């Protein structure tokens, strides 16, 4: 998941500094509602602000999964990464690091009733351990004998897995662990080997210009204990983040209604554009598949088969990240989302159109041709209108599917309903309610659409009965 936050109103005259971070790591970086607005705060963010200030640049924050950091730097999607990242040898192969700015230790979190059971690392052998995907904690867990790993993007989700007994233990940095402790989740006495780790700032390989500014800023901050102060302040901000126990699902729906409203807007826009372009591309593909030329027919069929035979999530990743990595085309989440949805649904629609056209009686084409119509005129005026009418219910179903499937686009930071639900989970630490509310909204949208389509169909069939 990634999202873009400008720290102040965007000032176009200034150059921008794009920061990549995984805002699930209080007090380093985390979501917090301030003045009714979702913001990303933390001491990493304060350091980023200091660097931006030194460069006289506008700071833009991109929130994404921790394991997207390296590719994001390499593809130029972000300028620097501050995410409590440890400068490991392995990472140094692909990016450059600043001087370290913080030191932490690894700890193990368990459910309170299990704290006697897991007292040393050996006790963890054979258990299921939760870690953040792509983190050094993942490496540590790999070293525990016979343990199964659950690696997820966001630490909040791993905490949820611990609470719901899907994992037995969670390895994370001590500073971060504090923010997730409560009466159910406690620190265990087990201490991972090589438990110390530093944090440093990552930049693209060879970007010494930026690296120099970063190191100079860090040196200044360290001189007057600036970083220690930032950590203290951020820890204080993070301490108020525990879930509010007497809040029910309706309170959440009401409190975060503006988030959901914004999400509905994006979901509808994304789906509408996906449907319109999908419809047009689908029609073109159908015509190509009916052409007299064998190569064209073959290309059309290949298009449909490939798009139907690969997952939309994979198509999305290729369009959003692949194009950026290989061709340097950096599409916005909205652009990538619309393109993915359109081409994906165009394949399904092309199949639907083909079925509809094949369903029209052969005699219709023959009659049209014998009246002197060209093949394409007959197609346009006689065949397609009849075909469209019979496949209308199938097209309607496809529209409903698009509304639901568009939720996948949230993983690249499109601020749709699903994305908002995730953001609200990050802010409230509520594991389930934000999803239930999202499900209700999706259901209401698709249900209304299917009623509407039913009405439309009845109108059309009325003309048949005359
Ligand atoms: N220090 C660990 C590492 O580099 C974990 C960092 C996780 N950061 C985050 N923002 N979630 O692998």
Is the CB of 175 within 6 Å of ligand 1? no
Average pLDDT, the chain: 90
Is the CB of 24 within 6 Å of ligand 1? yes
Tokens encoding 172: 């994370």
Is the CB of 217 within 6 Å of ligand 1? no
CATH of 103-196 among 3.40.190.10, 3.30.450.20, 3.30.300.10, 2.60.40.1080: 3.40.190.10
Pick the atom of ligand 1 nearest to 91's CA: 4
E strands in 26-152 = 29-34, 37-41, 58-63, 80-81, 95-97, 102-111, 128-132, 148-152
Pick the atom of ligand 1 nearest to 29's CA: 10
- Range list for CATH 1.10.3720.10 in the chain: 251-465
CATH H-level, domain 3-101+200-242: superfamily: Periplasmic binding protein-like II (3.40.190.10)
Nearest CA to ligand 1 atom 12: 135
Is the CB of 22 within 6 Å of ligand 1? yes
pTM of the predicted model as reported, rounded to 2 decimal places: 0.67
User: CB–CB of 29/22 below 8 Å?
Assistant: yes
Pick the atom of ligand 1 nearest to 134's CA: 12
Separation of alpha carbons 180 and 187, rounded Å: 10
18 CA to centre of ligand 1 in angstroms: 19
Per-residue pLDDT, 1: 46
83 CA to centre of ligand 1 in angstroms: 6
Q: Which of 18-27, 59-68, 226-235, 321-330 has the lowest mean pLDDT?
A: 321-330
Is the CB of 85 within 6 Å of ligand 1? yes
Q: Does domain 251-465 have CATH number 1.10.3720.10?
A: yes
Pick the atom of ligand 1 nearest to 135's CA: 12
Q: Which of 28, 71, 76 is nearest to 48 (CA)?
A: 28
Pocket test for ligand 1, best of 19, 83, 100 (most atoms within 8 A of CB): 83
Each residue of 156-185: pLDDT tens digit? 889 989 988 999 999 999 999 988 888 889
Contacts of 113 (CB under 8 A, 6+ apart): none
Residue 2 has pLDDT above 60, yes or no: no
| Cα-based torsion angle of the residue sequence 309, 311, 314, 319 in order, rounded to the nearest 10 degrees | 70
Separation of alpha carbons 92 and 419, rounded Å: 32
- Range list for CATH 3.40.190.10 in the chain: 3-101+200-242, 103-196
Residue 8 has pLDDT above 70, yes or no: no
Residue 149 has pLDDT above 90, yes or no: yes
């Amino acid at each position: 998941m990634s999202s873009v936050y400008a720290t102040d109103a965007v000032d176009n005259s200034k150059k921008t500094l794009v920061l990549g971070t995984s805002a699930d790591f209080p007090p380093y970086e985390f979501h917090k509602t301030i003045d009714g607005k979702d913001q990303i705060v933390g001491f990493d963010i304060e350091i980023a602000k200091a660097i931006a200030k030194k460069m006289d640049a506008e700071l833009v924050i991109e929130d994404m999964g921790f394991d997207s950091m390296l590719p994001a730097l390499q593809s130029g999607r972000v300028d620097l990464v501050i995410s409590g990242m440890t400068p490991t040898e392995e990472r140094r192969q692909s990016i450059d690091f600043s001087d370290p700015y913080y030191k932490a230790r690894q700890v193990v979190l368990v459910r309170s009733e299990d704290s006697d059971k897991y007292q040393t690392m050996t006790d963890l052998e054979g258990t299921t351990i939760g870690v953040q995907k792509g983190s050094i904690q993942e490496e540590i867990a790999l070293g525990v004998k016979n343990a199964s790993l659950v690696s997820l993007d966001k630490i909040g989700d791993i905490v949820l897995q611990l609470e719901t007994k899907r994992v037995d233990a969670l390895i994370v940095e001590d500073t971060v662990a504090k923010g997730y402790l409560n009466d159910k989740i406690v620190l265990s006495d087990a201490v991972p080997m090589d438990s110390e780790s530093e944090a440093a700032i990552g930049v693209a390989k060879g970007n010494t210009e930026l690296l120099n500014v970063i190191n100079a800023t860090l040196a200044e901050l360290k001189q007057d204990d600036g970083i220690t102060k930032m950590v203290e302040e951020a820890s204080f901000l993070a301490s108020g983040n525990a879930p509010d126990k007497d809040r029910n699902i309706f309170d959440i729906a009401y409190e975060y209604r503006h988030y959901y409203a914004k999400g509905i807007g994006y979901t509808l826009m994304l789906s509408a554009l996906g449907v319109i372009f999908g419809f047009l591309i689908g029609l073109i593909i159908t015509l190509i598949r009916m052409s007299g030329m064998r190569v064209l027919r073959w290309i059309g069929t290949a298009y449909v088969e490939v798009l139907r035979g690969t997952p939309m999530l994979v198509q999305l990743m290729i369009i959003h990240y692949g194009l950026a990595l290989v061709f340097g085309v950096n599409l916005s989440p909205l652009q990538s989302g619309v393109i993915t949805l359109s081409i994906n649904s165009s394949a399904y629609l092309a199949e639907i159109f083909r079925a509809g056209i094949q369903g029209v009686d052969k005699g219709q084409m023959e009659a049209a041709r014998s009246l002197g119509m060209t093949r394409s005129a007959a197609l346009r005026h006689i065949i397609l209108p009849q075909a469209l009418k019979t496949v209308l219910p199938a097209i309607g179903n496809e529209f409903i599917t698009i509304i639901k499937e568009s939720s996948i686009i949230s993983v690249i930071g499109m601020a749709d309903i699903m994305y908002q639900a995730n953001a609200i989970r990050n802010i409230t630490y509520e594991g389930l309610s934000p999803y239930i509310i999202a499900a209700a909204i999706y259901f209401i949208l698709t249900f209304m659409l299917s009623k509407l389509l039913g009405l439309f169909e009845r109108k059309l069939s009325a003309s048949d009965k005359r």
